[in-house]
Chain A
Amino acid sequence: MAEKEATVYIVDMGRSMGEHHHGRPMTDLEWAMQYVWDRITATVATGRKTATVGVVGLRTDVLMPDIRRLRETIKPSNTNRGDAISSIVIAVQMIIEYTKKNKYKRKIVLVTNGTGAMSDDNIEGIIEKIKEIDIELVVMYVSCRRDSTFMLILCSGADFDDAEYGVKEEDKDSRKAENETLLRTLTEDCEGVYGTLEQAVSELDIPRIKVTRSMPSFKGNLTLGNPEEYDTAITIPVERYFRTYVAKPISASSFVPRSGTEPGSQAPVKGNVEGDALTSVRTSRTYQVTDESAPGGKIDVEREDLAKGYEYGRTAVPIEQTDENIANLQTFAGMGLIGFVQKDQYDRYMHMSNTNIIIPQRANDNASLALSSLIHALYELESYAVARLVTKESKPPMLVLLAPSVEADYECLLEVQLPFAEDVRSYRFPPLDRIVTVSGKVVTEHRNLPSADLKDAMSNYVDSMEFITTNDEGERTDDLPIDESFSPLLHRIESAVRYRAVHPHDPVLDPSERLTQFAHPSEDMVKNSKSRLGKLISTADVKKGNPFPNYIQKKFLLTNAFRFIVPPKTKGRKRQRETEKPLSGLDVDALLSLEPKRTKISTENAIPEFKQTLARAENIDAIHDAVQQMAKIIETQITHSLGHSNYDRVIEGLGTMREELVDYEEPALYNDFVRQLKGKMLREELGGDRRELWWFVRKGKLGLIGKSEVDSSAVEEEEAQEFLAAN
């Protein structure tokens, strides 16, 4: 449980804070407020009820209770009068009033440019009070000189005339000098830290990492052997904690505009974000089963009347309460060692999960000693252990790999999940260093294999692109830059939410540079390896483009064959392709042409006959005619479809037609048809509402054939996309 916090920000809103300095487009106040907003929104974002924030305006007297209204209010006022010291007194009183005598982390942050009157009456009293109730005082000083806006977190010898930052203010008026001394004394006496505003603002984009304290995900025994059965079993009480765990970005919830806030009915308060007019969305779940006799074919059933179950093929198998226990494998908590493997025989890509650590049970010296001996034995033998882990009774077992971790002052086992047999998908791919032909020949020189020159060029390039990481002393290390890499999505959303909370009408910002620092290789590296890369590019001779005609790719997809494709010797239109023959090589086409029935495409055998008619076609008219017939069949299928009963057939017919006409390079025939079809469907001319079918057409991407698919198409890509997108 984090400590309760109470922080009061005192913001100087004197007229002089409205001036611009340093060529910045924003006023000093706005600039300084970046810092304040960042701190305030960070606090709000935690959602903690125990972290409270207050704001006092200096040289103004508006009260600002609400963060949404705060931004509207923080503007330079028309006065330069107002006493920074008295504002501190107010803040101290606020804190005392709020925190009473309870345990709190108390803090006051003062943002001022140090102009305006300050009175040192009773300053000792103030200091005493601040120290007595243990308030951390932070003063941010915004200079109004030429190039010198900076912030002081007073308390550690900060000087308004800090030479290091080149802000010698020659013509400082005497009041200002007095104020400096006053504030410095005040803060020095209160003990604290110091930094410039430049620094503070520049560090704003370093993402803050939320530290999460891990809870053990398993407490139990690490065993070797079965202590229940054998006397030769080892039992070591251990605890398991996360080593890595993906931090998820905050999630958005669903809202709808509050009813009754239609435009005009209630003028929204000026400056309100839409958030005020939103109401949350509730979901309710009802259950339905098919009942032919009921209107609509479905009836609602009560949740209480439903049993838990599973699908077994088409059959629903309810599992009674009594069976449910049987259906779950009975397991007991524990981590049982199965055996040991060699480190160098293990493939790192088998890691299946986040990682955990295993440490001895707390305050158990002997467990710690026993585990240590296992850790060291593994370490010295360069081995890993494989274990079966059940974290709680009745949980499914996992197989985990345990690796020793030995550091100067820390020892543990690192743990990661291993794949089960079912988790490995055996997709096969051709080798990358040789090519085996169907006839069994092994080829080592091929356009898909790298030449010796290419291998050399690659090797040189890789060696020239070493990613450099250094430690604090600037020495090179072998580490990956994990500590400096921040989750781009998480921090971008977080800062966008915070920014939007303060600036409701601004567009969303690009991600900060730090979040995308690893998106590209560093300029130095690129420069260093430039010549090697040039050599590699010229040796590799990679060309952009699609080398294979469509029909080959589609074909292989259909037959589930590997998508590793050897290009055909001739790129050609389907009209010229060899006709498919059975294993014997028999010319079935000749037989087909003898079939007297096959002049018209029949409904029941439409797809084969459509393809065969096209293959036989000797002129464009014949193709045209086949398409007409097919179109008719498809439209009839749609018209006669009860609900979506025929939709799959329709989609198959459409898809086949499209595929064939792409291959025959007759895009216009298809495009004309699909345009008409869309019109008819959406006008409900084909047996009623067919929007659902149109949705399937869109999903199958069966829209217009565009230029990118067939050169001769008159349809531009945008048109093709629009056609599919529009309802």
Chain B
Amino acid sequence: MAEDHYTREEENYEDEELDETSFKSVKDAVLFAIDISSSMLTPRPSPDPKKHGDESPASAALKCAYHLMQQRIISNPHDMIGVLLYGTESSKFYDENEDDRGDLSYPHCYLYTDLDVPSAQEVKQLRSLASPADADEDVRQVLEPSKEPVSMANMLFCANQIFTSKAPNFSSRRLFVVTDNDNPHADNKGMRSAATVRARDLYDLGVNIELFPISQPDNEFDTSKFYDDIIYKTSPSDGDAPTYLQPDTNTSTAKGDGLSLLNSLLSSINSRSVPRRSLFSNVPLEIGPDFKISVNGYLLLKKQEPARSCFVWQGGETAQIAKGVTTLMSDDTGQEIDKSAIRKAYKFGGEQVAFTIEEQQALRSFGDPVIRIIGFKPLSALPFWANVKHPSFIYPSEEDYIGSTRVFSALQQKLLESQKLALVWFIARRNASPVLAAMIAGAEKIDENGVQKIPPGMWIIPLPFADDVRQNPESTVHRAGDAVNDAMRDVVRQLQLPKAVYDPSKYPNPSLQWHYRILQAIALDENFPESPDDKTVPKYRQIHKRAGDYILKWAEELKLQASEIFGGSAAATSTLAKRGAKTEAAGEHPSKRVKVEDSASSVEDEVKKFYAKGTVSKLTVAVLKEFLHAHGRATAGKKADLVDRVEQYFEQKS
């Protein structure tokens, strides 16, 4: 743990995300507290008519906890999750259990899954509890409800102790209470007030209680009976306060069916969730000389990569991740050296040119962080190609300059209206390399449900420097005539995406999803999925259906024009070209193959013929490579590899 922190400090220059939190670690711990009463265990008809079979609320809640656990392992790999059952006949709390015959600290509280980063074993255990019919006898015994009522105060203090010892210093700690009992201590005032006091402890500890109330068939859950004394508002009582002050979870402590609330926590896409934190905070936005406001910067768009792989040691009882330890040694003596002795030097003409650490830093420093406007330009001045990385998003902050928000808003609205961009000199952090950037206004975007999709604010798009612009390589231009262009226009018109916009939410990253899916299958001994669900693969059938005829027409025009322009020389060109020109091999081909290239088509046919005869290995390497390349296959390796790959291609196809 400590080592992590040390190394993290080193990789600062390129590390974009800035941890600007206070002393708390930005982690989340969720403890489920599921009421195991006989009514919770009674199967009920599902409210969803599509699902058949009755299910008890307890089992539904456990299933949800199980799915959430699975999902959070991927989305929040460092966050903790635990399951505490209460109202059970048996009790379990760390080393205590009923066999001890001693004093039980928390009777009828059964800590089924300890609050921790879950292990695969725990996920499997929870899975067996969620479908007890398939489970062992002792698993089912856990779900035996207690005959006497459980003390809520005791349960809450039990949760308190779990959070205190297992998740100290977490910035977010949540207790999810799932129950259908809206008045646990109806007739015992003392027990009631004890519970309210324990609830207050949790509040002061920084634990949020979130209630998932389940109404009984004949009895609407009424929070005013008990839970309104237990649960605290997390938003201020000021009725005029902006709605955004309310916590941004999907749950609410008010009305609604607890189970559907729980299910709303599950998302359809597996992805790592990133705690909301700023990239830089309170950086001055200098609108003119001596006129500054303050803004915070965020990364709203950032490429998500799969978690890094690690080395696993399987020599012990359980597989363990091996920690790499790097030692630095002097090249001439081989002695270990201390980090403080290291000097940085640049190679220069075979020798080293050294700088002290301070000089190194001085060289990197171009002044304090700032976003300084140096002028405005029409938005059209920003070329499509002038981009080098993802943008940063900025939003005003009142912390350093009071009135920042209204000024920012005025600027944002002006830029939107006049279609202008601001040219800015941008230093994101101390010692960050300065860039020239285009600052553009972004309007708020709201989806059909009224949920904000893109926040209003401004985007900083770093521009390439002259050093970053590459020259276009040579390329011959043959302009197609109007007939061909018109034909292509028809094709393009047929194949617009819905609403003619690109909507990222429709396209999960297929390799990332596949990676998570396989990892989960291996960890939980599940079967491997057959094939990936890849939303990025073009919808071939639709393309064929909608645009097929137009494409054929285009191909026709193209052929006409090609023979017009290149005439007899077309043949010469195509034989000269290694892979041949792209024409339709008219006449020779019964089918209208649009894609066909003269030589490519013959290669295609040749390889196919040889494959049918089982003599692919007789083909030359050049032909094999050309065939593989045309089908997007790797062309590296020995001839045997190429032959294998070609054969694989045909096997997969059939």
Contact = CB atoms under 8 A, between A and B. Distances in A.
A225 to B, nearest CB: 5
Contacts of B547: 224-225, 232
A362 B503 CA distance: 34
Contact of A388 (B22, B205, B537): B537
Contacts of B147: none
A450 B410 contact: yes
Residues of B contacting A: mostly:
mixed
Interface stretch (B35-43, B129-137, B258-266, B475-483): B475-483
A342 B498 CA distance: 11
B400 A586 contact: no
A416 B398 contact: no
Contacts of B193: 591
Contacts of A385: 492
Interface residues of A, number: 282
Contact of A366 (B382, B562, B634): B562
Interface stretch (B86-94, B178-186, B338-346, B614-622): B338-346
A282 B289 CA distance: 49
Contacts of B422: 462
Nearest to B512: A422
A586 B328 CA distance: 62
A604 B161 contact: yes
Contacts of B409: 432-433, 448-450
B594 to A, nearest CB: 6
A405 B385 contact: yes
A582 B232 contact: yes
Contacts of A228: 631, 653
Contacts of A360: 475-476
A275 B330 contact: no
Contacts of A122: none
B46 interface: no
Contact of A533 (B289, B467, B507): B289
Contacts of A289: 313, 315-316, 320-323
Contact of A258 (B329, B332, B344): B332
B128 to A, nearest CB: 17
Contacts of A372: 477-480
Nearest to A312: B523
A433 B389 contact: no
B362 interface: yes
B544 A245 contact: no
Contacts of B7: none
A255 B344 contact: yes
A420 B304 contact: yes
A225 B548 CA distance: 9
Contact of B23 (A212, A604, A701): A701
A307 B244 contact: no
B465 A487 contact: yes
Contact of B276 (A234, A336, A461, A560): A560
A275 B348 CA distance: 10
Contacts of A316: 310, 312, 318-321
A221 interface: yes
Nearest to A389: B536
B582 interface: yes
A581 interface: yes
A634 B606 CA distance: 80
Interface string A570-606: 0000000000111110101001100100000000110
A269 interface: no
Contacts of A595: 197
Interface string B222-244: 01100111111111001111111
Interface stretch (B59-67, B96-104, B290-298): B290-298
A232 B592 CA distance: 8
Nearest to B231: A583
Residue with the greatest number of chain B CB neighbours at <10 A, chosen from A273, A373, A380, A655? A373
B285 to A, nearest CB: 11
Nearest to A323: B522
B300 A312 contact: no
A397 B510 contact: yes
Interface string A217-241: 0011101111111111111110001
A649 interface: yes
B603 interface: no
B354 interface: yes
Interface string A644-658: 100011011011000
A245 B351 CA distance: 28
B388 to A, nearest CB: 5
Contacts of A209: 466-467
B320 A349 contact: no
A67 B349 contact: yes
A287 B247 contact: no
A457 B422 CA distance: 16
Contacts of A346: 501-502
A274 to B, nearest CB: 5
B509 to A, nearest CB: 4
B345 A275 contact: yes
B640 to A, nearest CB: 17
Given A466-B376, A542-B293, A607-B204, A438 B239 contact: yes
Nearest to A464: B376
Contacts of B25: 648
B191 interface: no
A103 interface: no
Interface in B551-604: 551-552, 554-555, 558, 561-562, 565-566, 570, 573-574, 576-583, 591-595, 597
Interface centre among B249, B489, B629 (most CB of A within 10 A): B489
A142 interface: no
A666 B453 CA distance: 44
B22 A454 contact: no
A341 B466 contact: no
A390 to B, nearest CB: 7
B471 A211 contact: yes
A351 to B, nearest CB: 4
Contacts of B289: 520-521, 526, 533
A566 B343 contact: no
Nearest to B522: A317
B146 interface: no
Contacts of A654: 23
Interface string A153-178: 00000000000000000000000000
A363 B577 contact: yes
B326 interface: yes
Given A235-B582, A310-B310, A369-B484, A536 B345 contact: no
Contacts of A418: 502, 504
A317 B321 CA distance: 9
B106 interface: no
Interface stretch (A28-36, A104-112, A490-498): A490-498
Contact of B492 (A377, A563, A582, A611): A377
Contact of A547 (B309, B402, B436): B402
B522 A319 contact: yes
A91 B355 CA distance: 35
A257 B377 contact: no
B353 interface: yes
Interface in A547-570: 547-548, 553-554, 556-567
Contacts of B406: 447-451, 454, 540
Contacts of A554: 22
Interface in B612-643: 629-634
A374 B495 CA distance: 13
Contact of A318 (B296, B314, B347, B471): B314
A541 B578 CA distance: 70
13 contacts: A229-B540, A274-B354, A284-B326, A307-B312, A317-B319, A374-B492, A377-B491, A377-B492, A416-B385, A450-B407, A525-B375, A648-B168, A654-B23
Given A508-B362, A563-B296, 6 more contacts: A242-B470, A252-B360, A327-B519, A333-B634, A485-B436, A582-B231
Q: Which 7 A-B pairs have the closest CB atoms?
A: A467-B375, A700-B23, A235-B595, A332-B632, A333-B632, A309-B312, A44-B349
